[in-house]
Structure formats: C-alpha cells, structure tokens
Structure 1
Amino acid sequence: MVQSKINNSARRSPAPTPTRRGALVITAALLLALVLAGYRFVPNVRGLGSMLDSVAPFLGIAVPVLALIALLRRARLALIAVLVPGLLWAGLFGAAWLPFGGGGPVELRVVSQNLQAGNPEPDGAVRALIDIDADVIGLQEVSGGIRGTIAETLTGRYPHQAYVSTVALWSRFPIREYVGVDTGLDWTRALRAVVAAPQGDVVVYVVHLGSARIGDTSVRDHTIATLAGQLRGDDAERLVILGDLNTAASDRVITPLTDQLSDAQADAGWGMGFTWPSVLPVTRPDHVLYRGLTAATADVVRTPGSDHRAVTAGFRF
C-alpha cells in the first residue's frame, strides 16, 4: 500500500511554472507587438498596407483581453509581456483619447455628411444637420430625388447653394464663386467654393473621392493624389475640405492631404471619430481638413437614413 502511494505520487505531473502558465499569452503578446511595430513597413500591394493601417487601431482590443487571461492564470511574466504591445499601441493611437486641444469661441461651424444615395429619410438627415447650427454644410451622394427634398428644408436657413454632380454646399453666407474640381474620376464629384464669411473669405471644398475595395484601392489612391495636386496649386489663405475621402484617418494613403492640411478631429476632437457604418462605426472615411484657421471643436453626429455619420468642426479665424 505504501509502495503504491509512492508510485502514484511519482507519476503526478509537476506543477506548471509561472513561465509555462503564461507561455501562450507571452507568445501572443510578442506577436501583437511585432505587428504593431512593423505593419507600416508592409508594402501597399493591392491595398494590403491600407487595410492594415485601417484595422491597426482595433488591435488594441487584444491588450486588455491578454492582460485578463494573464491575471486569471496568475502569470506575472505574461502580464509584463502584455505591457509591450500596450505601450506600442498607446504610442501610436493613445493620443486620440487625451484631452483635446481646441476650446474657445467658434466663429465658423462646418459639417459634412454623406447622405447615401437612396436615403429613405433625407429630410430627417438634413434637419439633424440644421440642429448642429452649422454655418456651412457639405453634402455627398445628393442624387436627383434627394436634391428637391432637402432643398425645401435647407433653403430657409441656408440661402446660398452650390451643386456639382452629386456633391453640394449649403451656406448661411454668400458664395462668391464655385467650380467643379477634377479628382481623377470619369465624372466630376468635387467642388471648390469661395464662402464670404463675416471675418473673411474661406475656400471650401466638398469632395467625394473614389471608392476603395479589398484588394483594389487604385481608384481611391489616384483620386487622393489628384486632389493633393490640386491643393498644392491653391493659394487660398483659409481652406477647408469637407468630404467622404474613402480613406481612414490612420491610412498611410491620406498622407499627401494631411501633409498640407490639419485634421480637425485630431486637433480638437476626442477619440478616433469613426463614422462608418453608422450603426457601429469601425473606420473614419469622412473628414474635415483645414488650414489657415484654428480648430476649436470637432465631433461626430448620427443622422437618420445614412450609412455614414456626419462630421462637424468649429473654427476661429
């Protein structure tokens, strides 16, 4: 009997060491850190780099999950390992959740909304934009049927309008002039207008760039490059872009634009400001970019009927 107990004891597996308890978590944490540190070096072949750039902010979700597993397994070394991707993610994206700059009085408020062609509630959508009390409203995907409906709602508050194809600008202030802008598409889907604000003229672009699809971002990339070229030749002192750029704020492809202009959400907003899809946004294709002004506020607003949320910003001269 004594010999049997000794043999059974000898056959028992040894207790796992702290390293063995957290081996999988350590491995996962190091792999996550490697992805965060190196995803920008992945070539943008067939849009792969853009896709990685767009999903990178969501990789931070894995950090608290791994930390919780490490705590449950009482694996201290694993918990320390999780700090590595956590710090990397914070360095890359954490600033978006810090108290924003901005602040102060707003002298010009703008809003941009992709209404979505076939929106069943275009009137409700633009009424939500009116409630923002914007001075200037930029709209995309304004199809023929929608145009008449929203005109009845907006004209009283916004007597000045500019239309080019499916993009439109509505303004409280006079529009001195406007022209269509070539962004490299087969049809014109952008406009440039000079808005006579009380404090001085502001050039406003309303833009809807080409679409990007998994494995094919060439059209979108070409339209960004073309728009960036247009901006390099625009000497306006104060300039704002309102639009659906079909490009995430974290996408490397947006750099030709953000090298020339500032991002209102980054400067005066809080969080990533995701806008699409409107029910549960996971990316931000809609933007307010600017120069020659000071961003005081930036926000995202959900409106009826559209698959995009609206983006808004307030500026000082």
Structure 2
Amino acid sequence: MVAGVLGLHRWIPNSPGQVGSLVENFLPWAGLAVVLLLVLALVRRSAVALVAVLLPVAVWTHSFGALLLPEADPGARDLVVVQHNVSDENRDPAGTARALAAAGPDLIALEELVPPALSVYERTLAAEYPHHAVRGTVGLWSKYPLSGARSVDIKPDGIAEGWSRGLRAVARTPHGEVAAYVAHLPSMRIGTGGLASAWRDESARLLGRAIAAEETGALILLGDLNGAVDDRGLRPLASQLNVAERGFAFSFPASFPVARIDQVMARSATVGHLRALPATGSDHLPVAARVSLEPPR
C-alpha cells in the first residue's frame, strides 16, 4: 500500500473531497511509514518482511532521494532568488526585509504586501535592490533593471474585483533577459468535506496559460502556490516548468513546516538547490534557490 501510494498517487481519485491532491501535498512524509515498516520487520526478525520493505524504500528513493543530495557547485550563470509570503499580519516588515537581503539574492519575490508595510519594504530594500515592481499584493525586487512590468490576471470566477495577485516583469541580468513571474494562488481549505481547492486550481490554470504564452525564453516563477509540486492541481505549471532538483525546503507553517507550498520553478533554466531560510515575522518560511540559466540537460 505504501509503495502504491508513492508510485501510483496519480491514480488516487480526487472525489470525494480532493483526496488525491491532499495526499500529494504530503507524499514525502510517506518515508515515515517506510521507516516504521522497517522497524516492525526487524522486531519480528522476518526476512520476508525485510525484503518486502525494499519495495517502498526503492519507490521513495526514486521519487525523493535526489532531494537529499548536497548542493552542486555554483555556476557562472547562476542567479540566487528568494521567495517569501511575508504575511499581511507581519509585525516586523523591516526585520523581514533585512533577513531576506542577508541571503544575498539577485531577485526577491514577496506576497501579501499591504500598506503601510509595503512602504517599509520599499525603503529597507531600496539600497541593495534599486529596481522593483508591485502589482496588487505581490512584488518583485531586483538588483538588475526591470522592464515590461504588468499584472497577470489569475483571478478565479467568484472572487471580488480588486483581487490582484499576479505580476510579470523582465529582468535584464548579466546573462540575458529573464521573465520573472510572481504569483499568490488562492488558499486551500481542509474541512469536514475534505480539501477545497477549486479556486486554487482555476488560478493555476490561468497562470499556466499566461506562462505558455510568454515569449521571453528564460522564465522563473516565484510564488506562494498553496500546493506542493506533486499536487495535481498545479499540473498546469509543473508540466511546463522545471522544479527544484535538491532540497525539501518545507515552508509552511513556519512553526512546524510540513509542506513546501512556496515554490521556485523555471523554464529554459534549472532550479538547483532549494532551501528554507530562518523564520521571519510571517507564518511562512522564506525559501531561497539557485537558478542556473543554462537550460536543463
């Protein structure tokens, strides 16, 4: 059963209650079940059970083992990027901004930007990140010039007007132009009826269409996507973008992270090591990634 859930999770039906998506957001934790099975096999001193445990071990290793490998050496065409949902209830926006800048990124993507905290981020980051664009509640800060900044309409039907959580801009880096997308997809809710993700899924489809139409070759997506990369609701994005090759980087909730819902994805580029940064005043952890502008092999 454990091996089946790991290897055949796409076959788990989503009805009722979006069960398939719910399972896919916590797939890495199936490794705990594998460890438990191994302990039980050792306690029972059962050779048959030990051999049987090799199946889920193999499937888990195939699915997630590469994420445990160490970070590769930096390349000449690498960019460091940081993604963070800073929380609209953050009581220390200045401290959060300084913590993010201390990671030395080239690009910083922020969500849940609200006044008056927005002006604090702008002032605090201005010296090191002179170029920035904000649309609605999402923003991008860059060491390099930005052009073509515009909103990206990812608003699902049924959400009130004025909801704006998508941004696109082109960063002119030393290695060429890169289209940077910042997005904050609607939240999922877990209730008695299961997982409610219809708005999130619709928003992901809209964002996927915008990315598919993007003419700039190299592209980086940074955002709070409210789902893990294995979540079928994010397939419109994961099917056309590369995801992190190293690092689990669980980002939510900050007090005890159990899932990575803050993502860095790329096209015509490779997302290398992804890591969680120390907690700020947000309920999310920031994540930092090294993105190579060399296309994946």
One fold, TM greater than 0.5?
A: yes
Q: State the Cα distance separating 1:115 from its structure 2 match.
A: 0.1
Rg (Cα) greater in structure: 1
Match of 1:231 in 2: 211
Q: Secondary structure at the match of 1:119?
A: coil
Q: State the Cα distance separating 1:98 from its structure 2 match.
A: 3.4
CA-based RMSD: 1.9
Q: Secondary structure at the match of 1:60?
A: helix
Q: Secondary structure at the match of 1:262?
A: coil
Contact 1:107 1:315 (8 Å CA) reproduced: yes
CA distance in 1, matches of 2:134, 2:10: 38
Unaligned regions of 5+ residues in structure 1, if any?
1-30
Q: State the Cα distance separating 1:297 from its structure 2 match.
A: 4.2
CA distance in 2, matches of 1:273, 1:254: 18
Q: State the Cα distance separating 1:313 from its structure 2 match.
A: 2.0
**Deviation digits for residues 134-173 of structure 1 (CA, Å, limit 9, x no counterpart):** 1211100111121122222111111112111110111122
1:74 matched to 2:50 = no
Q: Secondary structure at the match of 1:225?
A: helix
Structure 1 or 2: larger helix share? 1
Counterpart code for 1:254: L
Identity of aligned residues (%): 37
Match of 1:293 in 2: 269
Q: Provide closer, same or farther for how the CA distance between residues 236 and 57 of structure 1 changes in structure 2, counting only shifts above 3 A.
A: same
1:217 matched to 2:197 = yes
Match of 1:161 in 2: 132
CA distance in 1, matches of 2:255, 2:217: 37
Match of 1:60 in 2: 31
Match of 2:19 in 1: 48
Unaligned regions of 5+ residues in structure 2, if any?
none
Q: Secondary structure at the match of 1:179?
A: strand
Matches within 5 A, 1:181-260: 181-185=152-156, 186=159, 187-214=163-190, 215-260=195-240
Q: Secondary structure at the match of 2:202?
A: helix
TM-score (ref. length: structure 2): 0.88
Q: Provide closer, same or farther for how the CA distance between residues 88 and 108 of structure 1 changes in structure 2, counting only shifts above 3 A.
A: closer
**Deviation digits for residues 236-277 of structure 1 (CA, Å, limit 9, x no counterpart):** 1111111101111221222221221111x22xx23x221111
Matches within 5 A, 1:81-230: 81-99=52-70, 103-105=74-76, 107-185=78-156, 186=159, 187-214=163-190, 215-230=195-210
TM-score (ref. length: structure 1): 0.83
**Deviation digits for residues 40-90 of structure 1 (CA, Å, limit 9, x no counterpart):** 211222321100111222111012222222222322222222222222222
Match of 2:2 in 1: 32
**Deviation digits for residues 92-117 of structure 1 (CA, Å, limit 9, x no counterpart):** 22232234556423542221110011
Q: State the Cα distance separating 1:192 from its structure 2 match.
A: 0.6
Q: Secondary structure at the match of 2:274?
A: strand
Q: State the Cα distance separating 1:302 from its structure 2 match.
A: 2.1
Q: Secondary structure at the match of 2:23?
A: helix
How many equivalent pairs are there? 283
1:308 matched to 2:278 = no
CA distance in 2, matches of 1:195, 1:35: 41
Q: State the Cα distance separating 1:124 from its structure 2 match.
A: 1.3
Q: Secondary structure at the match of 2:18?
A: helix
Q: Secondary structure at the match of 2:167?
A: strand
Contact 1:294 1:315 (8 Å CA) reproduced: yes
Q: Provide closer, same or farther for how the CA distance between residues 274 and 238 of structure 1 changes in structure 2, counting only shifts above 3 A.
A: same
Counterpart code for 2:117: I
